[in-house]
Structure 1
Amino acid sequence: MIIINNKIAKIAGSVLLSLLGVAGVKGQPLMNGQVTVRNLFVSRSDDKLFISMDIDVSGLEVKSNREVIFMPALASDDHTLSLPAVMIAGRNRYYHHLRNDNLRPATTQIYRRSDVSVVEYRTVVPYEKWMNTSKLVTLNEVCGCCEETLAGENKPLLALRLEPKAFVPSYIYVRPKAEPKINVLEGSAYIDFPVNRTEIHEDYRRNPVELQKILSTIDAVRNDADTRIIALSIKGYASPESPYSNNERLAKGRTQTLKEYVQRQYNFPESIISTDYEPEDWAGLERAVENSDLQNRDAILALIRSNMEPDAKEWKIKKTYPADYSWLLKNIYPGLRHSDYAVKYEVRAYTDVEEIKRLIKTQPQKLSLNEMYLAAQEMETGSEEYNETFDIAVRMFPDDEVANLNAANIAMSRGGLKSAERYLQKAGDSPQAIYARATLAALNKDFDTAKKMFEETARKGMPDAEKMLRQIEEIKL
């Protein structure tokens, strides 16, 4: 198709809004300098290739019975595509063609030399992959009457280097649900009690330090105006030596004593503090033995994991492996006599975006995913601050599906495809997560997998899935 008239020129102008283009040199002489090609440009847009050049024939001498034919073509080693030709004719040849309508080929555009100085050549052809590394050439012929060819010139104009169209993703971020912010601070204290007794002596051995650990944890929450303690739990453990029944009495009594001590310090409502106890901390003993270099480590572990009664199990270890038992009694058993505590508290909701931004940098543990997302919406998409917000969100909520999904999108936008893959493993199976996995597959050039997943998400109503499918179809042309 020859693009000469204004209507088609407007179409060509829209095609110029392409992703890929190659421009020629400033001016290229033809026919010993009588003709100059200027403003040469070849570009691709989707499935079309646009070719544009200005053919300056102001210096061309054409006698009345002669004509010059410019026949552009795209050529590669295995393909050739002839483009519409341009004929510059002298007076007699011009009228001869008008009377006889015998242009060769039919798409040739004819000009009378005295009426034209610059031919604005514009044409659009269907794009094919081989054109990426083709050449734009022109065969220029000078003909006389009786179709006699007097001279010819085959001239290369431009070597094309059109890269294949790249996949341009559209990332979809998910807004987390607004939920109450319930956090927990946990710790372990090793309170020393007199042998076989349950009362606490505050100044006994390590007790000043260990009791202060509990109080400091509670104070860290209690003294923060943004938080409210909603529960406090204490669980006491004893070590396996001596009869199980006695250890049960000690674990229960010592836990109750510790609860009463805390209650005296703060006067909490009775409903806030809960207690539990474990007569013998066999799980803690198992972990310690697993990480030890005991000579009979595996045999002792087998006994610990057996279904024997606690007293029989402890006696068997003591009798069978006395040296190892002695080491455990001295180095491990004291650590099994501990009290685990947890302070559960609620953080108030934040609505001021600037306050949320400050907390993201200083106390992100106070924020919910929803609050971080609200702040991100006020940041420039793709900025360092924006990306960092989603990075912090997934660090604070490492197992949350939405946090991992949004972090995967950030990683992909920065080229971190391996990181995105790890995040997507924990992003669940929502339509948005499947869409993100399709995006990752497309960025990895696995277009077949990407197409299947985008088709699935399109059926589930994802708004951008159809656009992504069209991109993949264009890339695979």
Structure 2
Amino acid sequence: MKTRGFFIIALILSLSIQAQTVVTKEQGSVRTTSSSLYKMGKELVVSISIDITRDFSPNESMVLVPVITDSPEHQLELPPIYINSRKQHIIFQRETSKKEKEAQALQRKNGVRQTMHYLQSVPFEKWMNRAALSLIERSCGCGIPGTEDFTCIARLHPQPMPAPQLAFLTPQIEKSKIRKEKGSAFIDFPVNVAVINDKYSNNAAELNKIIETINTIKKDSNVSITHISIHGYASPDGPLRINERLSRERTQALKEYVSRLYTFEGKDIHTSYTPEDWEGFEALLGDTVFQQKEAIMRIVTSDRHPDHKEKMIKSRFPAFYRFASRHWFTLLRHSDYTVEYHVRPFTVEESQKVFDTNPKNLSLEEMFRLALTHSPGSKMYNRIFMTAVQLFPDNPTANLNAACIALMQKDTKTATAFLRKAPAVPEKTLAEGVACFLQGDYEKAETLFRQAKDAGLPQADENLKQIGEFK
């Protein structure tokens, strides 16, 4: 009977593994008893010991091929191992050994326990730093279809992953913490009316957006409102002179409505207005698909008088204009509001509670100090730095520190994205070197580490030592 399968010996470079990978047949087996894969100078050495107790049929030949690999892109087959019956061994010596001069072979003597030692070396290549060794059964000469039955037992002892050191940047202290809450309210008015009616259309819900925003901020004892602004927009339909008056008067009406609810002085609420929201119209048009979209877009973005734009669209594209009147113009009549407020500073002890409830009230520097109270690499430590970059997405320091967190988790792709926004400082050079190190580009990593070392970062010197162990 022919038995087909493959033996897997998972080995990591420079470490040995004691494994028993077994293929049994009847009362005996073929198994590896010890295997190792290690670097010696400029060579990679493979050592395999195989124990054979299974009897072979007269026409049987087992061919085992050691394969070194670290990924589907990197695979290197070594000279094969032949375990032959007496008859097949004669054929091997007569034919196969001349074609495969480096192959190692053993003639099976049934009824006797035999051991075979395989030793082979190949020139070391950079990708082999994380190589694994597989022993695959390729073919058999008995002529009988095989099965996929096999037993694979291997204890994997991974090579320690590189643990390069990183340097975080301490953020500058935010002297005055000013925060803003923004929103849009879509308040309806009857034609040519500029008085707010909270019972008209959906006005109650829209006005409540503004009220809830202000109430939420006022309830926070750690903050104080410093400024409120309202910017009103009218839609592009109708004469510009009328829309200009309506947008101005309706914005003023909203200001007065809010002022009646709260003890704000008139100077605390700033108002402005845009008679016709052509920018919003352009944005809506850009996000949709129409057959004549480009022609309409040319009119919208032209320098023509707004009334002329509307007239051209209405006359040349009547179906589109009807669609816009029905679905878009209500969206373009809106009031954008901003509530600005000041947040008091917090001690480290206070910061944890604030972080858990309303982290945007913390400054970048306060979050940094809070992170230092947790163990590096812990869940909360990582969470604080990643929250910081979410709240301050364009801050260079936040991006550099977030890149460091990603690199600590071996996520070079995410780290590279953060590094694009990081400042041009030695700490960034160090982080870029770590990314190259983790990606296996040791030459570039070494160059960057040397630059960081010359800039005075002690972490770079430790990383250079680690590089030497992998090259």
Query: Structure 1 length as normaliser, TM-score?
Result: 0.63
Quickly say closer, same or farther: Cα 1:357–1:165, change in 2 above 3 A: closer
1:369 aligns with 2:364: yes
Task: Give the whole-Å Cα distance in 2 for the aligned partners of 1:374 and 1:394.
Answer: 15
Quickly say closer, same or farther: Cα 1:380–1:170, change in 2 above 3 A: same
Shift of 1:450: 1.5
Shift of 1:202: 2.9
2:458 matched residue in structure 1: 463
1:435 aligns with 2:430: yes
State whether residues 193 and 199 of structure 1, in contact with CA within 8 Å, keep that contact through their aligned partners in structure 2: yes
CA displacement, residues 197-217 of structure 1 (integer Å, 9 cap, x when unaligned): 322223222222222211111
Deviating more after overlay: 233-242 vs 245-254 = 245-254
1:243 matched residue in structure 2: 239
1:421 matched residue in structure 2: 416
1:215 aligns with 2:211: yes
221, 225, 240: which one aligns with 2:221: 225
Quickly say closer, same or farther: Cα 1:317–1:22, change in 2 above 3 A: closer
1:141 matched residue in structure 2: none
CA displacement, residues 171-228 of structure 1 (integer Å, 9 cap, x when unaligned): 2112212213222111111122231132222322222222221111111111211111
Task: Give the whole-Å Cα distance in 2 for the aligned partners of 1:448 and 1:168.
Answer: 17
162, 173, 198: which one aligns with 1:178: 173
Task: Give the whole-Å Cα distance in 2 for the aligned partners of 1:395 and 1:239.
Answer: 34
1:386 matched residue in structure 2: 381
CA displacement, residues 292-339 of structure 1 (integer Å, 9 cap, x when unaligned): 344422221121011211111110001111111111112111111111
CA displacement, residues 135-188 of structure 1 (integer Å, 9 cap, x when unaligned): xxxxxxxxxxxxxxxxxxxxxxxxxxx999964311211221221322211111
Deviating more after overlay: 417-426 vs 305-314 = 417-426
Shift of 1:244: 1.1
254, 258, 279: which one aligns with 2:254: 258
CA displacement, residues 231-271 of structure 1 (integer Å, 9 cap, x when unaligned): 11100001111211221111111111211221121121333
Task: Give the whole-Å Cα distance in 1 for the aligned partners of 2:204 and 2:230.
Answer: 18
1:274 matched residue in structure 2: 270
1:104 matched residue in structure 2: none
Shift of 1:473: 4.4
1:211 partner letter: L
Quickly say closer, same or farther: Cα 1:227–1:277, change in 2 above 3 A: same
1:322 matched residue in structure 2: 318
State whether residues 442 and 467 of structure 2, in contact with CA within 8 Å, keep that contact through their aligned partners in structure 1: yes
SS of the equivalent of 2:265 reads coil
1:415 partner letter: K
2:283 matched residue in structure 1: 287
Task: Give the whole-Å Cα distance in 2 for the aligned partners of 1:190 and 1:165.
Answer: 59
Quickly say closer, same or farther: Cα 1:463–1:324, change in 2 above 3 A: same
Task: Give the whole-Å Cα distance in 1 for the aligned partners of 2:160 and 2:260.
Answer: 72
Task: Give the whole-Å Cα distance in 2 for the aligned partners of 1:334 and 1:388.
Answer: 41
CA displacement, residues 105-159 of structure 1 (integer Å, 9 cap, x when unaligned): xxxxxxxxxxxxxxxxxxxxxxx989x99xxxxxxxxxxxxxxxxxxxxxxxxxx
Deviating more after overlay: 333-342 vs 295-304 = 295-304
Q: Larger radius of gyration, structure 1 or 2?
A: 1
2:296 matched residue in structure 1: 300
Deviating more after overlay: 201-210 vs 438-447 = 201-210
State whether residues 165 and 475 of structure 1, in contact with CA within 8 Å, keep that contact through their aligned partners in structure 2: no
1:176 partner letter: P
1:346 aligns with 2:342: yes
Task: Give the whole-Å Cα distance in 2 for the aligned partners of 1:165 and 1:242.
Answer: 71
State whether residues 404 and 427 of structure 1, in contact with CA within 8 Å, keep that contact through their aligned partners in structure 2: yes
404, 410, 413: which one aligns with 2:405: 410
2:301 partner letter: R
2:464 partner letter: L
Unaligned runs of 5+ residues in structure 2 are 1-12, 19-37, 42-122, 132-156
Task: Give the whole-Å Cα distance in 1 for the aligned partners of 2:162 and 2:244.
Answer: 66
Higher relative contact order, structure no. (Cα contacts within 8 Å, ≥ 6 residues apart): 2
Unaligned runs of 5+ residues in structure 1 are 1-18, 25-42, 47-127, 134-161
SS of the equivalent of 1:246 reads helix
Task: Give the whole-Å Cα distance in 1 for the aligned partners of 2:299 and 2:346.
Answer: 53
1:204 aligns with 2:208: no
Task: Give the whole-Å Cα distance in 1 for the aligned partners of 2:192 and 2:300.
Answer: 24
State whether residues 20 and 163 of structure 1, in contact with CA within 8 Å, keep that contact through their aligned partners in structure 2: no
